[in-house]
């Protein structure tokens, strides 16, 4: 009697497991379950990461002072270079915003970001997803884009209270709407199954795309914000027997190496950061936009001649206000 | 009765062993590029299915699998399915296998874990994630090698003389 009971239990559990897999792949009904149960296993996850963390701590302690000073120097240099670039990017950003306003296109600004860390927890290295140490508690949501310092990494597919799983762009199920940076040609990338390969399907044989082209997110579909690099085209093969080009690209993000990643909230303004801004920034920011606004106005034929000044000034003020 | 059935282990010990195995499973050891990783949860599960068949079976296997699903942040049910099968199969052959010497049990253990790998491969295909990498088939072999260690670690002292 007990025997048949065990058999029945087994069959029920099999059914439940298959049901779980189906429900979890096709719906989000299990998100609350995962959020709650996820808390229970969080201590185990921390425990599993302990050896790696300890190793890193030890190797950091073991670094000699000159080594650390070198590293510090390197980072200082990098920071200076980046802040110079940032200033340039900021003025471009302001100019871009004004031009878009003149064209009455929708505004497109910087996005709110948050730093997260990859926890290398995976029983199966082949599955193209990683776990990060931010979850619902940090307002992470399913479908959220994830970047690293070099480009788009992927998107959040599952969240629990404290962790989330990120599916990489190289996952065969992941499709990212992109465009060729050089000419604005729209395309898609899909994962090729290994960490260094992306496919670009459905492009006609006479499409203008070549080796070395950079593919950036096009913002189509509304999930990934516009303008972040995704991949670089490695080879373009023409096969006369096939209607489409065979294009292989490599992801720009360093998928196998990055530890720190950025979670992006597209459309949300960034939190104010203390930038090393020169003190006269306020004055020039007000003056410069008016100039560029005029220049843009004289080139743009759609805007009425009288409105140029006003639009330029208004945009300048807008940019100014944003910066404060 | 057979050896070991009179030595009941406390429930907390069983639960703790599963938790420890779960940690080991997701520990980023990177043996041979991460592929040659023993399935510690399956090993612990099989151990308890052999020597505590009244308490540990398919249900415990399902729970352990769900724990792995949560630990890895994957699709719920993926590991639970395989571990349910492992628990059931191990229970079925526990009476036959536990009288064998440990090194002969290894073969049976590898066979049971191969069932788990097979389940995994099927799920991979059904979810259209592409074929499971062939290297994943090393898991039964890697686990088999670790079986004696698990037996020695989890056996009560009264039975340990058998393995010396």
**What CATH number did the domain enclosing A181 receive?**
2.40.10.340
Residues A138 and A225 in one domain: yes
Q: How confident is the model at residue A242 (pLDDT cuts 50, 70, 90)?
A: confident
**Could you report the per-residue pLDDT of A43-79, keeping only the tens digit for each?**
888 888 888 888 888 888 888 888 889 989 999 999 9
A53 and A118 part of one domain: no
State the fold for domain B11-156. Arp2/3 complex 21 kDa subunit ARPC3 (1.10.1760)
| Buried/exposed code over A244-277 (b: 16+ C-beta within 10 A; e: otherwise) | ebebbbbbbbebeebeebbbbbbeeeeeeeeeee
Contact at 8 Å (CB) between B75 and A23? no
Work out the mean pLDDT of chain A and round it to a whole number: 79
From the centroid of its chain, how far is CA B35? 17
Domain of residue A8, residue span: 2-62
d(CA A84, CA B65): 52
Please answer yes or no on whether B85 and A14 come within 8 Å at the CB atom.
Answer: yes
The highest-confidence range among A154-163, A204-213, A274-283, B43-52, by mean pLDDT, is: B43-52
Both A58 and A125 in one domain: the answer is: no
Q: Give the mean pLDDT of A20-46.
A: 89
Is the domain of A55 the same as that of A135?
Answer: no
Is residue A278 situated within a structural domain? Answer: no
Q: For residue B108, what pLDDT band results from cuts at 50, 70 and 90?
A: very high
B68-97 pLDDT, tens digit each: 999 888 889 999 999 999 999 999 999 888
The tokens 């009971």 sit on which residue? Answer: A5
Confidence of residue A271 (pLDDT cuts 50, 70, 90): low
Q: ipTM value of the model?
A: 0.87
* Domain termination residue (choose one: A268, A290, A307): A268
SS3 B53: coil
- A142 and A234 in one domain? yes
Residues of B in contact with A48 (CB under 8 A): 22-24, 26-28, 71
Structure tokens at A254: 């360093």
Indicate whether A22 pLDDT > 80: yes
How many folded domains does chain A comprise? 2
Instruction: Look at residue A216 and tell me if it is in a domain.
Output: yes
Tell me what pLDDT residue B132 has: 77
Find the residue in A nearest to B79 (Cα).
A17
Of A11-25, A96-110, B141-155, the poorest mean pLDDT is in A96-110
Residue A165 and residue A241 in one domain: yes
d(CA A197, CA A233): 10
Phi, psi of A10 (to 5 degrees): -60, -45
In this structure, are A124 and A251 located in the same domain? Answer: yes
Under an 8 A CB cutoff, do B65 and A129 touch? no
pLDDT of residue A144: 93
CB contact under 8 A, B136 and A10: no
User: Does some domain include residue A308?
Assistant: no
Rounded Cα–Cα distance for residues A23 and A176 (Å)? 24
Among residues A25, A46, A62, which one ends one of the domains? A62
B147 pLDDT higher than 70: yes
Residue A152 belongs to some domain of the structure: yes
Residues A129 and A240 in one domain: yes
- Give the pLDDT of residue B36: 75
């Amino acid at each position: 009697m007990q025997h048949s009971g065990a058999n029945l239990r087994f069959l029920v559990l099999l059914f439940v497991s298959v049901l779980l897999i189906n429900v979890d792949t096709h719906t989000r009904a299990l998100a609350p379950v995962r959020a709650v149960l996820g808390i229970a296993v969080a201590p185990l996850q921390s425990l599993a990461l302990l050896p790696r963390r300890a190793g890193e701590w030890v190797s950091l302690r073991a670094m000699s002072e000159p080594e650390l000073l070198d590293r510090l120097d390197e980072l200082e240099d990098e920071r200076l270079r980046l802040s110079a670039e940032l200033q340039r990017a900021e003025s471009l950003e302001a100019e871009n915003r004004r031009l878009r306003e003149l064209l009455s296109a929708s505004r497109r600004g910087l996005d709110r970001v948050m730093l997260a860390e990859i926890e290398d927890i995976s029983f199966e290295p082949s599955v193209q997803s990683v776990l990060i140490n931010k979850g619902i508690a940090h307002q992470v949501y399913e479908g959220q884009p994830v970047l690293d310092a070099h480009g788009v990494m992927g998107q959040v597919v599952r969240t629990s209270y404290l962790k989330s799983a990120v599916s990489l762009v190289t996952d065969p199920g992941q499709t990212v709407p992109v465009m060729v940076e050089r000419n604005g040609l729209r395309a898609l990338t899909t994962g090729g199954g290994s960490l260094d390969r992306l496919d670009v399907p459905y492009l006609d044989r006479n499409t203008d795309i070549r080796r070395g082209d950079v593919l950036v997110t096009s913002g189509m579909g509304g999930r990934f914000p516009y303008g972040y690099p995704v991949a670089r085209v490695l080879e373009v093969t023409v096969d006369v027997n096939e209607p489409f080009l065979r294009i292989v690209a490599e992801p720009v993000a360093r998928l196998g190496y990055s530890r720190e990643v950025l979670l992006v909230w597209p459309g949300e303004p960034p939190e104010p950061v203390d930038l090393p801004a020169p003190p006269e920034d306020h004055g020039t920011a007000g003056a410069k936009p008016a100039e560029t606004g005029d220049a843009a106005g004289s080139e743009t034929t759609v805007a009425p001649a009288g409105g140029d000044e006003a639009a330029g000034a208004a945009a300048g003020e807008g940019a100014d206000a944003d910066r404060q | 009765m057979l050896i070991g059935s009179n030595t009941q282990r406390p429930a907390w010990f069983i639960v703790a062993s599963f938790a420890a195995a779960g940690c080991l499973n997701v520990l980023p050891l990177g043996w041979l590029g991460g592929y040659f990783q023993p399935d510690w949860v399956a090993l612990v599960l099989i151990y308890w299915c052999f020597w505590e068949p009244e308490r540990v079976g398919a249900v415990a296997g399902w729970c352990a699998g769900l724990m792995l699903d949560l630990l890895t942040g994957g699709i719920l049910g993926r590991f639970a399915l395989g571990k349910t099968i492992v628990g059931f199969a191990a229970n079925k052959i526990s009476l036959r296998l536990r009288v064998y010497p440990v090194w002969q049990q290894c073969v049976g253990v590898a066979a049971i874990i191969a069932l788990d790998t097979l389940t995994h491969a099927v799920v991979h295909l059904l979810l259209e994630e592409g074929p499971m990498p062939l290297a994943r088939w090393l898991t039964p072999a890697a686990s088999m090698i670790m079986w004696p260690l698990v037996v020695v670690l989890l056996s009560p002292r009264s039975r340990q003389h058998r393995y010396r």
